[in-house]
Amino acid sequence: MLLIVDLLFFFLMDVIGESPMCQIYGTKELPQFSKEGDIIIGGIFSFHQNPVTVSPALTINPGVIQCEGLEIGELQYAHTMMFVIDEINNSTELLPDVTLGYRIFDSCPSIPLSIRSSLNLMNPYRNKEGLCNNFSNVYAVIGDTTSTSTIGIARTLGPFNIPVISHSATCACLSDRKIYPSFFRTIPSDIHQSKALAKLVKHFGWTWVGAIRTNNDYGNGGMATFLEAATKEGVCVEYSVAIYRTDPRETFLEVVDIIRKSTSKVIVAFVDATDLDVLMKELYAQNVTGLQWVGSEGWITYRYFASLENYAVVQGAVGFAALNAYIPGLQEFLTNSRPSITPGNQGLVELWETIFQCSLSSERGIYQRDCNGTETLHGVKTRFTDVSDASLMNNVYKAIYAVAHALSMLFNCKEGHGPFENNTCANRKNVQPWQELHYLTQVNFTTKTGENVLFDESGDPVARYALVNWQLDNTGYIKFETIGYYDASWPEGQQFEMKVGVRAIWAGESHEVPQSICSDSCLAGTRRAFIKGKPICCFDCIACAEGEFSNSTNAVKCEKCAPEYKSNEERNHCYLKSIEFLTFTELMGIMLVTLSFFGTFSTFAVSLIFFCQRHTAIVRANNSELSFLLLFSLSLCFLCSLTFIGRPSDWSCMLRHTAFGITFVLCVSCILGKTTVVLLAFRATVPGSNMMKWFGPTQQRVSVLALTLLQVLLCAIWLAINPPHPFKNTHYYSEKIILECALGSPLGFWAVLGYIGILAMLCFGLAFLARKLPDNFNEARFITFSMLIFCAVWITFIPAYVSSPGKLSVAVEIFAILASSYGMLFCIFFPKCYIILFKPQYNTKKHLMSKGTLKAL
């Protein structure tokens, strides 16, 4: 049924031959500026700050929503767009056969008005007769200034593939091609700005900051990225609060209270200027000043926000802004601008009437005096003609030229080589917005100012910023002084470049960079101890323990010194420990060397006495050959103690233990031979006994040699498997190194020592058995005493050696060698020397063979 009705309607219209009339729903809204052309570029700018609230009663037609609070900067952006379009139309190089036009609307800024302006640009444009035969020819839209309004515009125009190019919207959300498929911008995304702000804060050493954001997509998204980047940079945020211009006053007072009570001296504000302006009034009223503000592009260079009242609060603020540029001819164009009272082109009327205090139209009648038409901006000081900060105007300039270059590629397409289906080109008489959108993704050109313009796959440009600083000149004018640059394409760590010859002004009109830290830096020699429940930027400083150091500020932990090093008193570096070993020059070494040489000299003296009296009975008794061999081995025992003194080396470590083991075995073997001779000698006196012939001088030599060679074999095995070697002992003392000889193989050492002990115990046992044999000079008794001393010394040596630290263990071993050597020398040979020197009458064979006891001894 409905289909039949529709067919009947179209049939009647065709019969009548009339064109359909355009019916606009609501109240007709005209653009602020317009110019006809073959291709129309739309513009949406926030010419006013706030919409006028309509009475909710709605007892009358509210008409077109009105706005108030003229924003001159937005008029500059619109006139920059008009200037560039005129420049392109007058050019013979770019689009020579195409005339560009424009229609520019006001967004207030308000999301509903932004969407309404988008629909006005997209809807059919009614001709003078009111017929609908003149459809919209808007193929791209420039705007808006704020991210919030731009989001509404991009959402509205995106489904229709109409390109939207913003000169100032930085919200990172707009880079999402799934949601905003037709969006481009000539200002970097907030992702880059947020990361750059984190790097900026870190660059100046501010690790403890507060954070304020606008409670919308722009502020929330930008601050989220900043907080993430700040954490990676080691920056802590004391507080993070959100504000919005429509919040009740109590909300702003709570934020002021948070700022006043905070300990951070730096505030990162990722906000729109309109929202921050409300907060500034409260901060100024309560005299909350002297803080360092770090701003996003949303307010840092907004001229209307830069009042003396606000400067008192944010003086010395720093932040990122779009790069400034000089646009030839723009200032002259702005100065020569004149208002029009033609409907659809009255955007300059309010500014003109405000500057010259006159009325252009009797309908408005704001001022009593009418403008006479001779007014001119030449010689008039007004912000409208001030292009000293043309950063955002330059972004508008690049956006228009991007559209023009895309159109140029579209119109210059060669048939058969086009980018569209079957290599076709766009129809010049029926260009579609999606075709323009395709060519926008391909643009890559250089402006007259030398700036390269291109878009990535998300529609974003390369992130480049100027670092601006709020400064007050001598005339009381607030200027945004460029003090440095940031380029994300530069290498990491080199992305900042401070401008030479420009001095920054910081909070409190100071020339020194302020500090904002939760805790003072921990100096070298200390480490950070993080406080439970607080951010990592808040910590205590604890001195490094002994043996540890830190040579940098804010060290997380103290590093341990190498085993051979110790930390100084400041604990900021390590130096080599003193090396300790038993030396010949120290008192203990001198005493031990003296005892060693005295024992050697005593041994040589006894040997000399025995040699001189070698034919006497007491020397010849009990094998004088073994006595001389014993004296020789004792001298070696005294001398081998010297190898334990001095700096240990590979050779000295191997020599000292092997020499000690072999010489003592040789010594004890001789004593064992002498003891065996005593026992066998008395056994031989028994009738029928022939035992002496089995242990004559040859057998005695062989036994000594065999017992000694067994020790030599044990030492050779020890040296072959794991020999003693120098070792730096760092465990006994923390402040010094004990240089000693490590045993290598403990089993080898104790085998050598155990073998000596076995021979000594065997010798002691045999001597003990022979101690009561009848003889005036029974040598077995003296051997018993010597072995008793020997065993006692070496038994007590074991615990003393194990428990003695460092070089004392070496001294203990030397003392044991000397004590046992002296014991054998004194007990065995001094009684004989006493007879030889002082009792020669007893040194006869007859006396030695008698049965009496030598009481003289």
Within 10 Å of residue 838's Cβ, how many Cβ atoms? 9
Task: Work out the angle between the directed axes of helices 190-203 and 217-232 (0-180°, nearest 10).
Answer: 40
3-class SS string, 41-97: EEEEECCEEEECCCCCCCCCCCCCCCEEEECHHHHHHHHHHHHHHHHHHCCCCCCCC
Which pLDDT belongs to residue 78? 95
pLDDT category at 131 given cuts 50, 70, 90 is: very low
Residue 801 has pLDDT above 70, yes or no: yes
What average pLDDT does range 673-698 have in this prediction? 61
The residue behind tokens 């072995």 is: 787
Hey, what amino acid is at 702?
V
- CB-based burial, 325-347: b 16+ in 10 Å, e otherwise: bebeebbebbbebebbeeeebbb
Which pLDDT belongs to residue 215? 93
Which pLDDT belongs to residue 336? 92
The residue behind tokens 């379009």 is: 85
- 634 by DSSP, 3-state: which? helix
Picking from 148, 138, 76, the residue whose alpha carbon sits closest to that of residue 107 is: 148
Which pLDDT belongs to residue 758? 87
Handedness of CA 599, 604, 609, 611 (dihedral sign): positive
pLDDT digit string (tens) for 404-455? 999 999 999 988 888 988 888 988 888 888 999 999 999 999 998 888 899 9
Contact 94, 404 (CB under 8 A): yes
Which pLDDT belongs to residue 856? 39
What average pLDDT does range 63-68 have in this prediction? 72
Q: What is the DSSP letter of 510?
A: B
Contact 446, 467 (CB under 8 A): no
* Separation of alpha carbons 102 and 42, rounded Å: 6
pLDDT digit string (tens) for 163-193? 999 998 888 889 999 999 999 999 988 888 8
Residues in the chain: 857
Residue 777 has pLDDT above 90, yes or no: no
3-class SS string, 534-571: CCCCCEEEEECCCCEECCCCCCCCCEECCCCEEECCCC
Which pLDDT belongs to residue 182? 94
Which pLDDT belongs to residue 430? 85
Residue 729 has pLDDT above 70, yes or no: yes
Which pLDDT belongs to residue 24? 55
Segment (H or E) for 217 = helix 217-232
* Separation of alpha carbons 142 and 164, rounded Å: 6
Q: What is the DSSP letter of 291?
A: P
The residue behind tokens 């470590």 is: 653
Which of 41-45, 660-664, 674-678 is predicted with the least confidence, judged by mean pLDDT? 674-678
Q: CA 127 → CA 13, 34, 115, 246, 566, distances in Å? A: 20, 14, 23, 40, 92
Contact 23, 123 (CB under 8 A): no
What average pLDDT does range 592-617 have in this prediction? 86
pLDDT category at 10 given cuts 50, 70, 90 is: very low
Q: What is the DSSP letter of 128?
A: T
Contact 190, 225 (CB under 8 A): yes
In the chain, the domains with their CATH numbers are: 33-53+64-188+328-337+377-443 (3.40.50.2300), 190-321+464-498 (3.40.50.2300), 526-576 (no CATH), 587-779 (1.20.1070.10)
pLDDT digit string (tens) for 236-275? 999 999 999 999 999 999 999 999 999 999 999 999 898 9
Query: Cis link prior to 109 (omega < 30° from 0)?
Result: yes
Picking from 782, 626, 607, the residue whose alpha carbon sits closest to that of residue 700 is: 626
What percent of the chain has pLDDT above 90? Answer: 32
- CB-based burial, 62-77: b 16+ in 10 Å, e otherwise: eeebebeeebbbbbbb
For the entire predicted model, the pTM comes to: 0.60
* Separation of alpha carbons 338 and 352, rounded Å: 8
Picking from 333, 363, 455, the residue whose alpha carbon sits closest to that of residue 405 is: 455
Rounded to an integer, what is the distance from CA 252 to the centroid of its chain?
37
Average pLDDT, the chain: 84
Residue 854 has pLDDT above 80, yes or no: no
The phi, psi pair for 383, rounded to 5°, reads -65, -25
Which pLDDT belongs to residue 28? 63
- CB-based burial, 772-786: b 16+ in 10 Å, e otherwise: ebebbbbbbbbbbbb
Instruction: Return the beta strands (E) in 679-772 as ranges.
Output: 725-729, 736-742
The phi, psi pair for 46, rounded to 5°, reads -90, 80
The residue behind tokens 């200002």 is: 187
The residue behind tokens 């005096």 is: 369
- 266 by DSSP, 3-state: which? strand
pLDDT digit string (tens) for 306-342? 999 999 999 999 999 888 888 999 999 999 999 988 8
pLDDT digit string (tens) for 611-637? 888 777 777 765 677 788 888 888 888
Sort 275 into a burial class: Cβ within 10 Å, 0-12 / 13-18 / 19+.
buried
